[in-house]
Amino acid sequence: MADVNNMFDDLDKQKNETSFYVPSSEDKKETKGGFTPMVEGDYFGHIIKVESKIIDVKRTGNFRARLYKYQVEVADENKSNTYTFKDINGEDKETDGSAYKGKVFRGDLWRFLDPQKDDSFDSNPDGNKKYLYFCEAIGLKCKKEKRKINGEDVEVLSLPSITEDDILGKPVVAVVKKGRPFTNKEGKTRTYYDCKWIKKWESGKAKEVGNEIPF
């Protein structure tokens, strides 16, 4: 289980954090009253909120990572998409994507940090593939560098530190899937639909988002 720091970090503290990725490593609901059930699929939207904190990851190794929790709000342009859901009789029904406008999906993103002098945690560049794809989806470039790994010169991609301006309001395609089922206080099993990762929205336009984000 991860040990979580209680305080959110300032952006200035992130400037000295480094990490990299090695490219070569590799509940059904009824439809009534105009309600349209959620379905898995791709949704056009904008990132409207993000927060982050440092976590020591002990469950899968001796790592340290910055965990980002972000939210994507479905945009008006999503009306161009078509989705298929099951109605109360179990029959397939189609709806256009406008039924989901304003819906918010939550997602997590891990950035495993590279240990610096006097750090006792290990490097985990293989864990940064999703972070790399996230950066590319919001238009951030990752520079190629040479690193000495196990005595050999290896070409790596240096992963940038994400800032508030890099994320908020950015147009993305949220890839939405069912999350892990959980049991609520009433003893009923529920499942949320989460943003598992994002892709680039080629024709998407950024939008203004309020500046209320803790980092």
Q: Which amino acid is at 163?
A: T
pLDDT value of residue 204: 96
pLDDT of 33 above 50: no
Give residue-wise pLDDT tens across range 94-151. Answer: 999 999 999 999 999 999 999 988 999 999 999 999 999 999 999 998 888 888 777 7
Amino acid at 205: K
d(CA 167, CA 70) in angstroms, rounded, equals 9
The rounded distance, in Å, linking the Cα atoms of 99 and 78 is 9
In the numeric block, which tokens belong to residue 13?
């503290």
Of 41-55, 143-157, 159-173, minimum mean pLDDT range? 143-157
Reply yes or no on whether the pLDDT at 80 is more than 90.
yes
pLDDT tens across 60-73, in order?
889 999 999 999 99
Domain ranges for the chain, please list them: 3-200
Range scoring the smallest mean pLDDT among 48-52, 149-153, 175-179: 149-153
Dihedral sign, CA of 143, 125, 179, 213? negative
More confident residue, 67 or 19: 67
Residue located via tokens 């000295």: 16
Q: Does position 24 have pLDDT exceeding 70, yes or no?
A: no
- Please provide the size of the chain in residues: 215
**Cβ neighbours for 91, distance < 8 A, ≥ 6 positions apart:** none
Instruction: Name residue 45's beta-bridge partners.
Output: 74, 172
> What share of the chain has pLDDT > 70, as a percent?
83
In this prediction, residue 151 carries a pLDDT of 77
Is residue 130 a contact partner of residue 112, using CB atoms and an 8 Å limit? no
User: For residue 146, what pLDDT is reported?
Assistant: 85
Residues 6+ apart with CB under 8 A from 108: 67, 68, 69, 70
Identify the residue with better confidence: 5 or 36: 36
Confidence category of residue 12, pLDDT binned at 50, 70, 90: low
